[in-house]
Amino acid sequence: MPLPRILVIDDLFGRIHSDRRNEERANLCGQYLVTDVTDDESGKGERQEVIEPTAEVVFHRGQRPAASVVGSTVENDLDGVLEVVRCGWSDVPLRRPRWAMVLLDLCFYTGRVTEESDRRAAGMPEGRAGDDDPERYFGLRILSALRNEFPDLPVVILSSKSRKEVSRDIAYLGALAFLPRDDSNSPELLRDYLWTHGLIQDMSGIQIGRSKEFLLALRAARRAASTQRNVLIQGERGTGKELLARYTHRETLAGRETPFIVVNSAVLTPELFASELFGIERGVATGVEQRLGLIQAAAGGDLFLDEISDMPAQVQAGILRAIEDRQYTPIGARMPQSVNVRFLSASNADLDVLVSSGVFRHDLLDRLLEGGGVHLPPLRERKEDIPLLAEKFVQDAEASHPRAMRRTIDPEALDLLLRHNWPGNVRELRSSLFGAVTNYPDVEHLVPVHLRLPTL
C-alpha cells in the first residue's frame, strides 16, 4: 500500500540548491518522520533514511526562482503553487499521486538574496516590509486561493509563527489545523492530523480505492470512529456499506479487540426482535434457558444494523430506548440493563424521505446520526477506482478457482468497465469479474466478451 503523499509549501524547506541537499528540509523530514520524494534532491550527497515513515513528502517553495543565489530576487508565485496542487488533485488523469494533505507555511520572505541573508540560510532573501505581517502573510493568500479552487483539499498550517495571530483567519479560510514547529510530539501530531484530516487509503488493503470521493467517505468514517457515538452509513445497494462499517469499527479499536455484531434489520420481526436483541432471562417459561441478546453480545464494541430502512415500525419503537440510553430489558427481567455499545447502521434508502412519508421515525434517525453520517458514493461517481477494484477482484476470483490461469485485463475490457454505469455498484463489478474468471478459467487475457456487459 503506497504511503500517503503530502505537499509542503514552504519558502525555506522548498528552496532548491543546485549543488547539495537542503539540510533544513532533511532535518524537517527527520523530525516529522517523513520521506522526501521531491525530485530535486537526487544525486546531492548522502540521503537520510526514515525507518518507518508516516508519509511521502513533496516540497514546493511557492516562489520564483526555486533555486536562488546571492543577487537573485525572490518573488511569491501563486500561479505556480496552484499548478503544483492541480497536478496531484484535479488534473484528469492526475500527473502525480493524489495529495493526502497540504502543509502550508505562512510567512514567505521575498526580495534580494544578499551576502548576509545567504549566510543565515543559503538562498534566502532578506525579506521586504509586509512579509512578516500576519495580516499580509502570503500563506493566507495561498490558503484563500486553495479554498476557492480546491474546496475539499485538506490544508494544515505548518509554521513557526505564532498561532494566535492567525487562528481566526485560518479558520475562516478553511485550514483544518495548525502544526507548530516547536512541539516535541511532532511525528505523532502529524500522524494524528493525517488520520483525522488527510485523504488516505485504507492501509489494511481491505477497502480498495483512491478516488477523492471514496477517500472523503473513508475520512468521514474515521472521524466518526473517533467518538463512541452512533454512525449512519448511507449509499446505494452494492456500494460496500458493511465493509465501511467494519472499517469504522477497526479504526476505533486502537489495538483493542472488541465485538462487531451484524444484524439484518429486515428480519427483526415485531414478534422476535426483543428476544433477538435483548435476550431472555432464565425461567421465563418452563425449560427456557438464559439467552444472550445481540446487544449484549456487542457490549464494548459495535452493533451493525444493516438495511435499517427495512426495520418494521414496531421494532423501530422498541429499539429506540436502547439506542438512546444504552439500556434494554431482557425478556423476563425486572430491571433494565446498561450496556456500552455503539450502533452503526446502514441504509440504501433516503431516510429523510422515509421520515417525511412517515415510514421511518424521526427520533430514531436523529439518534442513529448522533456521531455523524457517512455517504458512500456509487461506483459511477468514483470510476477512477475501477482499474484497482477490477485488478483485485480478478486476482481474488483466480485465487478462489481451482485452476484459473493468471490473466491481465486488456485495455478494451478495462475501457468497457469504465464506460459501464454500474447500477449495482461494486458488488455488480465483482460479480461480473468473478463470472468472467469462472466462465473463462483457461485464458490469459480478460477481454470484453468475457464480461457480458452491453457494449456502448
Partner 1 sequence: MISTWQKRRSEFNHDWLKNRYLPALAKWVNILDDRVEDQAFQKEFPRTILNQWLEYGPQGHLLAERFESEMSPRVLLERYPLSRLPGPTRDWLGPLVHELWLSRYPVRQWVADTVAAADAANTAYGLLRDSIASRANSTVEELRPLRSSFTRFQGLCQGLARTIEEFPKPLII
Question: Which chain residues interact with partner 1 by CB under 8 A?
Answer: 12, 24, 26-31, 33, 45-52, 107, 120-121, 129, 132, 134, 160-162, 165, 181-184, 186-187
Between 182 and 271, name the residue whose CB sits nearer to partner 1: 182
**Taking the complex as a whole, how short is the minimal distance between the CB of residue 120 and partner 1, in angstroms?**
6
Between 26 and 84, name the residue whose CB sits nearer to partner 1: 26
Peptide linkage before 441 cis (omega within 30 of 0):
no
* Cross-strand bridge partners of residue 327: 338
**Taking the complex as a whole, how short is the minimal distance between the CB of residue 254 and partner 1, in angstroms?**
21
How many alpha carbons lie under 13 Å from residue 112 in its C-beta half-sphere? 5
Residues 53 and 61 sit within 8 Å (Cβ to Cβ)? no
3-state per-residue secondary structure call for 380-408: HHCHHHHHHHHHHHHHHHHHHCCCCCCCE
Between 181 and 419, name the residue whose CB sits nearer to partner 1: 181
Q: What is the residue-wise DSSP string for 142-153?
A: HHHHHHHH-TT-
Q: Distance between CA 96 and CA 87 in Å, rounded?
A: 6
**Taking the complex as a whole, how short is the minimal distance between the CB of residue 383 and partner 1, in angstroms?**
39
Between 170 and 220, name the residue whose CB sits nearer to partner 1: 170
Between 66 and 121, name the residue whose CB sits nearer to partner 1: 121
**Taking the complex as a whole, how short is the minimal distance between the CB of residue 266 and partner 1, in angstroms?**
51
| DSSP tag of 62 | S
Residue 251: which of 218, 216, 229 has the closest Cα?
A: 218
Residues, the chain, total? 456
Give me the sign of the Cα torsion angle 235, 237, 239, 244: positive
Q: Distance between CA 355 and CA 363 in Å, rounded?
A: 9
**Taking the complex as a whole, how short is the minimal distance between the CB of residue 55 and partner 1, in angstroms?**
14
Residues 46 and 64 sit within 8 Å (Cβ to Cβ)? no
**Taking the complex as a whole, how short is the minimal distance between the CB of residue 48 and partner 1, in angstroms?**
3
3 state DSSP class of 359:
coil
Between 52 and 444, name the residue whose CB sits nearer to partner 1: 52
Cell of 168: 481566526
Q: Distance between CA 330 and CA 276 in Å, rounded?
A: 10
